[in-house]
Chains A and B, each alone.
Chain A
Amino acid sequence: MTKLMIGYIILTVIPISLLGYILYSQYTHSIEEQVGEYIPKLLEQANQNIDNQLNEIKQLPDSLYNSSQIIEVLRKDSYQSKSNLLKDTFNVNSYLSSSFLNGGYSGILGVFIQSKNRLFSSTKIPYSGLRLEPSSLPYGQDLDLKGQTQTILPYQTSLEFEGNPPYILFMRQLRDYENQENLGTILIAIDLSIFDNTLNTLKEENDSTIWITDEGGRITYHTDPALIGEVDHNLSNYPDINGSFRTTHDNQLISVESSQLTNWKLFHSIALSNLTKETNAVRTGSVIAFAIIVVLSVIISIILAWNVSNPLKKLTRLMKEVEKGNFNVDLPVNKMDEVGMLAKSFTSMIQEIDKLIKQNYQIELRQKDAELYALQSQINPHFMYNTLETIGYAVDDEEKEVVIRMVTILGRMLRYSLNNKDKLVPIASEVKNMKDYLTIQKFRFEDRIHFTIQEDVDMYQYYSPKFILQPIIENAIKYGLEELFECHIGIYIYQEADQICIKIKDNGPGIDENTLVKLKSSLNNDAIAGRDSSFGLINVHTRIAMIFGEQYGLEIHSEVNKGTEVIVKLPVVRDHEIRNLSGGEESA
């Protein structure tokens, strides 16, 4: 039972769970791969957008060159009066306001131009910290940017805006292209919230973290503004790729994309669990379905195992019963499966065994009974008395010959009956014994009894049970002499097909129909009737049938006042076949 169940469970639970696990991991893996491929493309797009935005802003200083008035101011080295300086400052500041702050670039917090000890500025919100001294910027006096735009992060400068909005500074040298001289430095402060639009589209779907670092790992933008300006210490550990990778310690999917313009790296990090969130419903569903399947399969396996093992257990129990000797068992299995067939075979086997036992038992019982009767009839005291009386008369009459013959015959009969070792004897012996019996009766009744024996077969060759003829003859004589003066008895021994038949025919009163029917039914019913007159016949029939089978035995034909014909049917049994006969040896 347990083995079966374990087998079932192994066959169902393990493959299903294995399959489920493989499918699920394959699925999450493919999601990982898809997202891992998809996000860098989005990042590339976002980088492009940011680059474009920054590029536009980077190019803003070029517009200064279109204004000869501003360039003229910037070319100036010295002033004759303070008012001239202030006038120029005013002009430049107004220009910066109108062309930068109000120029359609919402992301610009402020513009500063440091030129020859002058600071021009225009900002959206008040600021502090930016002074003329070069110390307020990370580059010294020998600033030479060679026309490139430098990015300055808030931590590198003392510049602060009111409200501390996150910002970056673009610094560029203003070159006097015509004179090939330095005009000063322009600083553009850019509000980082201009990235929000671009980056929020990335963020929209999931709870992801987005940040931008410069080449050194300094965070320039982060979805958590508190981290801006910090250094991302993990950066050096990250694989140096544009693409996606997974952190094995906390299962984050991190995608990186470097900007072509700034060399900044745009990061997007999302917990893998978030990615698979949508598939979690599927997973939960599968797990539930899996659990249901497991439970069902366990139940089914239990039922199946029970179905097989329970009849087997019953069978075992019944076998034990049978072992103890109780054949009266019943195994009610109605199934058509193997177990049912097994149970059926078992039942039929037990029944067969029971039947055989009963048969043998009863055969033995009857045989004993029959033998007892035969023994009784052999040494029937009545017969002995009559015979001895007849011998006595003969002695009185001094019929010496007769006495000698009778004593000899009686002795022979006694010896025949004493010799009980052989169950089957040659038919000749049996016929001889019958002849002896008839001879003795003929001595007694003289001419009232006539008998003829006709034999068509070799009687020494075939065998028959002992004492099967004497009871029939006794019967014939008894009833014949009761009714008639002369009693004729014919005995014919012949072979008919594969049967040896011994026909005993008399001319007695016959048997009336009712009695005949009764007698015949008694023969067929094989019942041991009471010891009435017909008992002798039935006994003979039963013994023959028990030894040779039902098809053998007695056949009785009778007609009232005409006579009776009893045919003893025996199988053809030769000397060497005696041992094979069932019952022959056992009943000895």
Chain B
Amino acid sequence: MLMIVSGCSILSNGDGYEVIYTNKSTNQSATRQEESDHTIAIIPKVVNIPYFNAVEEGAMKAGKDFGVEVIYTGPTVADSQEQIKIIEELIHNEELSVDVIAVSANDPESLIPVLKEVRDQDIHVITWDADTLAEGREFFIDMVDPETLGRHLMDTLAWNVDEQGKYAIMTGARDAANLNEWIKWIKIQQEEYYPDMKLVEIAATGDDPNKAYLTAKRLIKDHTDLQGIIGNSSVGPPAAAQAVKEAGEAGNIAVVGLSPPNPMNEHLKSGAAQVITLWSPKKLGYLTVALSENIIEGIYPYDGQYIPGAGKIRVVGDSVIMGEPIDFNKENVDQYDF
């Protein structure tokens, strides 16, 4: 039988094709391997807060989709020294061979030495969520354009306080680059368009929910006639809403800011918070893994690139911009699951 089959194939070859011209080698880029042995380490600012949990979900899903191993590990408090320790452990662990380390930096400067060490070992470094100095990484995955976000956060507060009165900002780590960038644009927007409003305090919470709650209570107490609180990091708005609610000021003190919708669901519906803004941290996690996998394959992000599972991205300079901010209010908050 084999003989017959092979005989047939010879005959059909003998049928004869004479190659006249070959345009170029036919080796098409093979479809991406389903299972690769790539390892990608994702390091958030802090673990166990809803925002970074959602990031983890997205990252893990992407790991499954692309067939790469994703290590999601971060400090329990938003501290750059902790992150340095984690990174050193990752690169000195003999059992792991990490291809990419993607960091959401608590401090733009202090991570630089360790990231350089990482890069010396031919490990790719990118940043996401919060950037380091440019020399520390290959590119930065930004969720939204910082100017757009900062100005938009100011706007959401202004809509809810009739464009006047005192307000405070609750930020996360005081040195986090992204948070400070947004604060800059919040201030600019207010100075340009809302002269009747006044920023009374910027309070750092260290992305600690408990500390944030205490900070919010203190702010309400310290500043009489406080009209609004902008939570500049994701632990801010839930803590502020909780404090406002407990102070019986729901509706009087507007709470806006950055937070995943799930922790704010009740507050938005009860009126303790008016509108919160965010992007999809799941998408961010997914995109971070997707882009990490791409750079292992040698594909660097470009403007308008379509990332399966995360849509189109924009690239400005060495920053990837994932998309536009989403506003969550009591009408649409149920649509989202993070």
B298-320 residues with Cβ-Cβ distance < 8 A to A are 306-312
Residue B23 at the chain A interface, CB threshold 8 Å: yes
- Which of A6-14, A174-182, A416-424, A431-439 makes up part of the contact surface? A174-182
**Option from B12, B24, B28, B58 in Cβ contact (under 8 Å) with A180:** B58
Could you say which interface size class chain B belongs to? 35 or more
Q: Which residues of A contact B335 (CB under 8 A)?
A: 72, 75, 179
Known contacts A72-B335, A249-B15, A258-B28, A177 near B20 by CB under 8 Å: no
Are the C-beta atoms of B311 and A239 separated by less than 8 Å? no
A-B residue pairs, 8 tightest by C-beta: A147-B308, A248-B16, A178-B280, A36-B20, A243-B22, A36-B21, A242-B23, A180-B282
Are the C-beta atoms of A179 and B280 separated by less than 8 Å? yes
Known contacts A62-B312, A179-B338, A248 near B21 by CB under 8 Å: no
B272-315 residues with Cβ-Cβ distance < 8 A to A are 279-280, 282-283, 286, 306-312
Are the C-beta atoms of B57 and A180 separated by less than 8 Å? yes
Using a CB–CB cutoff of 8 Å, the interface residues on chain B facing chain A are: 12-13, 15-24, 26, 28-29, 57-58, 61, 65-66, 279-280, 282-283, 286, 306-312, 323, 326, 332, 335-338
**Option from A180, A258, A263 in Cβ contact (under 8 Å) with B61:** A180
Residue A191 at the chain B interface, CB threshold 8 Å: no
Q: Which residues of A contact B26 (CB under 8 A)?
A: 240-242, 258
Q: Which residues of A contact B337 (CB under 8 A)?
A: 179, 181
Are the C-beta atoms of B20 and A72 separated by less than 8 Å? no
Query: CA–CA, A147 to B312, complex, Å?
Result: 12
Are the C-beta atoms of B309 and A248 separated by less than 8 Å? no
Q: Which residues of A contact B12 (CB under 8 A)?
A: 237
Q: Which residues of B contact A44 (CB under 8 A)?
A: 23
The residue among A177, A181, A258 with the most chain B CB atoms within 10 A of its own CB is: A177
Q: Which residues of B contact A179 (CB under 8 A)?
A: 280, 282, 335-338
The residue among A175, A241, A249 with the most chain B CB atoms within 10 A of its own CB is: A241
Are the C-beta atoms of A238 and B21 separated by less than 8 Å? no
Q: Which residues of A contact B280 (CB under 8 A)?
A: 177-180
Q: Which residues of A contact B279 (CB under 8 A)?
A: 178
Query: CA–CA, A147 to B61, complex, Å?
Result: 13
> Taking the nearest CB of chain B, how far is it from the CB of A94, in angstroms?
21
Known contacts A72-B332, A181-B337, A148 near B308 by CB under 8 Å: yes
Contact indicator per residue, chain A 244-265, by CB within 8 Å of chain B (1) or not (0): 1111110001100110100100
A141-171 residues with Cβ-Cβ distance < 8 A to B are 146-148
> Taking the nearest CB of chain B, how far is it from the CB of A302, in angstroms?
44
Known contacts A258-B26, A263-B28, A245 near B282 by CB under 8 Å: no
Residue A393 at the chain B interface, CB threshold 8 Å: no
Are the C-beta atoms of A178 and B19 separated by less than 8 Å? no
A52-76 residues with Cβ-Cβ distance < 8 A to B are 59, 62, 65, 72, 75
Q: Which residues of A contact B308 (CB under 8 A)?
A: 146-148
By the criterion of a CB under 8 Å from any partner CB, how many residues of chain A are at the interface?
40
Q: Which residues of B contact A203 (CB under 8 A)?
A: none
Are the C-beta atoms of A244 and B283 separated by less than 8 Å? no
**Option from B17, B21, B286, B311 in Cβ contact (under 8 Å) with A37:** B21
Are the C-beta atoms of A62 and B17 separated by less than 8 Å? no
Q: Which residues of A contact B286 (CB under 8 A)?
A: 177, 180
Residue A366 at the chain B interface, CB threshold 8 Å: no
**Option from B19, B29, B66, B283 in Cβ contact (under 8 Å) with A177:** B283
**Option from A72, A146, A181, A243 in Cβ contact (under 8 Å) with B21:** A243
B278 to A, closest residue via Cβ: A178
The residue among B13, B22, B332 with the most chain A CB atoms within 10 A of its own CB is: B22
> Taking the nearest CB of chain B, how far is it from the CB of A64, in angstroms?
10
- Beyond A177-B323, A180-B283, A242-B23, 18 additional pairs, beta carbon < 8 A: A33-B20, A36-B20, A37-B21, A62-B312, A146-B309, A147-B65, A175-B309, A177-B280, A177-B310, A178-B338, A237-B13, A237-B17, A239-B17, A240-B26, A243-B20, A245-B19, A248-B16, A249-B16
Query: CA–CA, A40 to B66, complex, Å?
Result: 35
Known contacts A177-B310, A237-B13, A253 near B20 by CB under 8 Å: yes
> Taking the nearest CB of chain B, how far is it from the CB of A413, in angstroms?
115
Residue A232 at the chain B interface, CB threshold 8 Å: no
> Taking the nearest CB of chain B, how far is it from the CB of A505, in angstroms?
114
Residue A41 at the chain B interface, CB threshold 8 Å: yes
Q: Which residues of B contact A244 (CB under 8 A)?
A: 19-21
Query: CA–CA, A65 to B23, complex, Å?
Result: 40
Query: CA–CA, A254 to B19, complex, Å?
Result: 9
Residue A88 at the chain B interface, CB threshold 8 Å: no
